Structure 1
Amino acid sequence: MPKIIRITTVPMALHVLLKGQMRYMKQKGFDVEMVSADGREREAVIQDEGCPHMIIPMTRKITPFKDIVSLFRLIRLFRKEKPDIVHSHTPKAGLLGMLAAWIAGVKIRIHTVAGLRFMTSEGFTRKLLVRMEKLTGRFATHIWPNSFSLLSYINENNLMPDKKLEVIGKGSSNGINLKRYSPGVLVLEKLTAIKENINYSDKCIYLLCVGRIVKDKGIDELVHAFVRLYEQNDQLRLLLVGDYEDELDPVTDNSRHILKNHPAIIMTGWREDVEYFMAFSYALIHPSYREGFPNVVLQAGAMQCPVICSRIPGNVDIVEHEKTGLLFPVKSTDGLFDQMKQGLE
């Protein structure tokens, strides 16, 4: 029985982005183990996937001393478990996982690229992150970008060896479940309860944003574009489904003040039932700075919720401007405002 270790920086990625893959591989005859830092999703991941999970502390930030400790723990783990395959996801787990697997002599070392952090960085940090991606590519035997536009970006910037690169199928890290993301399968009682919880009014127009409340998700631009639109139409509502992540990439203090105090902005925190919000939203707004192949845009399409998103790798694989959605220049508040206004007209 071939053994595979799937490694991510935090358990959220195993629980959400890769949901069901480990159980499927186990059913197909693989001995599957999962590795990540500890987190609130760990127990749910173990229960859902039916596979053992091992904790290796890792941070999403650049923390050299902690990273070295994590690297040696991974090397020790791989030498003990002797996997046939190590498959990594997310930047930090990719670098540490591929390097540790190479040192431990693992023959098949796969890294999935689902977005590039340096695309939103500048100066020394950008140079360091680029170097990290190149090192990850050097130690991997297979590199799987999860979209064709991301593959093109990697090639254009000579980040990783072309001979190692491949997009699986038509892209995406995990696809979406059309039995779940379909307007006809929603539970009416739950939909009604969610509407009541946000004081829903059929006189209002709801614009939805799903994701982490951080700078590189384009939240600053979204907030200011929405405030301008609201001045023209006070029936608009901005609905944000996601949590703040202040320790990694915080929004500006001004944006945070607006999010807290604006009467037409509704914040729900993180939810796993985003399809219900898509069911009554006028459009999904996805102003992210970087993506690989965004699940939330696929989900919106399946839920028949129109999409307005940034013109970046990943988004452009799904949305064709003015045919399957609206695109605007990344980081452009004016561009986002114009496309939101056009969509509302």
Structure 2
Amino acid sequence: MSKKVILFVAEDGHFYEHLLPIARSAKEKGYIVEVLTKEGGYKTKVEEQGFKVLTIDISRFCLNPFKELKLIFNLIGIYRREKPNIVQHFGIKPIIYGSIALLFSKTERVVNTFLGMGFIFLSEKIWVKVIRFFICNILKLVSINKKYIYITQNKDDAELLRNLRIASKDRIVNQCSVGIEPDNFKFLHELPGKIIFALVGRMIVDKGVGEFVTAANLLNKNGLFAEFWLVGAPDENIQDHLKKSN
């Protein structure tokens, strides 16, 4: 019998746009792949790719304790019913709540994938530090079980997990993000016309908008006259978006 993998990501759009290659690769290797996510307009598209979608009501920014507790109980029920052999969580909230739920369910392997450390690990606000304290201790608790491994997308994030004693070096896999398919882009031996630098992403401070603007000013002051484009939209769910980095 084929083993089952559940991929848990907060938004179906994020899965469809960024994580399909992971699901396809697992399916090609003979795994049954199910996607656990909030329905946001991409469910049919994901199903058309041949993956069963398990829907759950999750919000990246909700802090209502009753709704969050209900979410954890719903996760416990899903994991017990579906009986996955492997679960991979993407992003901080699926990692935390999924890891808690799996304390009450059986699975062979849990892969917690950090898509960047984000606001919770970077902010110095007091209330965020309190939340970070609880998150770190929850992750330390679940990591006692060696079935948990962690994936980071850069060396700084991997080092942060080690420094916070969430996971040891042998339990962390550092790899680049999904990235792009280079064969889809034509190689240019010479750059035509003016030089353009672009930052593509959500226009929030955590995505490096401030650093991008600083770099642009520094390069222009040193005689490199180029255009610098911010390509993306602000995330209205996050207060620290573009207008704070002006």
The aligned counterpart of 1:132 is: 135
2:204–2:242: 8 Å Cα contact kept in structure 1? no
Q: How far did residue 2 of structure 1 move?
A: 0.8
How far apart are the structure 2 equivalents of 1:151 and 1:134? 17
| Equivalent in the alignment of 1:60 | 60
Distance 1:240 1:109, change over 3 A: same
Aligned to 1:145: 151
Residue 178 (str. 1) matches residue 173 (str. 2)? no
1:87-116 superposed Cα distances (whole Å, 9 cap, x missing partner): 111000111111112212334222123322
User: TM-score when scaled to structure 1?
Assistant: 0.59
CA distance in 1, matches of 2:105, 2:27: 23
CA 1:231–1:254 in structure 2 vs 1: closer, same or farther (change >3 Å)?
A: farther
Change (3 A) 1:90 1:254: closer
The reply on whether 1:19 has 2:20 as its aligned counterpart is: yes
Change in 2 beyond 3 A, CA 1:59/1:126:
same
Q: Which runs of 5+ in 2 are unaligned?
A: none
State the shift of 1:81 in Å. 1.0
Post-superposition CA distance 1:31-76 (Å, at most 9, x none):
110011122343333334x211111111112513322121111111
In the aligned structure 2, how far is the partner of 1:91 from the partner of 1:135?
12
Aligned position for 2:198: 208
Q: CA RMSD in A?
A: 3.0
* Counterpart mapping for 1:31-70 below 5 A: 31-48=32-49, 50-63=50-63, 64-70=65-71
* Pair 137,4 (structure 1): closer, same or farther in 2 beyond 3 Å: farther
For 1:162, the aligned partner's letter is S
Q: SS at 1:248's partner residue?
A: coil
Cα separation, partners in 2 of 1:203 and 1:177, compared to 1, 3 Å? closer
- Measure, in 1, the Cα distance between the counterparts of 2:87 and 2:213: 41
Q: Matches of 1:177 and 1:220 in 2, distance apart?
A: 28
The residue matched to 1:9 in structure 2 has which SS? Answer: strand
Contact 1:244 1:250 (C-alpha < 8 Å) held by counterparts: no
> Given the superposition, is the C-alpha separation of residues 251 and 227 from structure 1 closer, same or farther in structure 2, using an over 3 Å criterion?
farther
Letter in 1 for 2:45: A
Alignment of 1:155-174 (within 5 A): 155-158=162-165, 160-162=166-168, 165-167=171-173, 171-174=175-178
| Rounded Cα–Cα distance in structure 2 between residues aligned with 1:207 and 1:12 | 26
What is the TM-score normalised by the length of structure 2? Answer: 0.80
Is it true that 1:104 corresponds to 2:98 in the alignment?
Answer: no
Partner of 2:122: 120
Q: How many equivalent pairs are there?
A: 235
Q: How does 1:210-249 map to 2 (within 5 A)?
A: 210-223=200-213, 226=216, 236-249=226-239
Q: 2: CA distance between counterparts of 1:165 and 1:228?
A: 39
Go from structure 1 to structure 2 and tell me whether the alpha carbon gap of 1:205 and 1:71 turns closer, same or farther (over 3 Å shift): same
Identity of aligned residues (%): 23
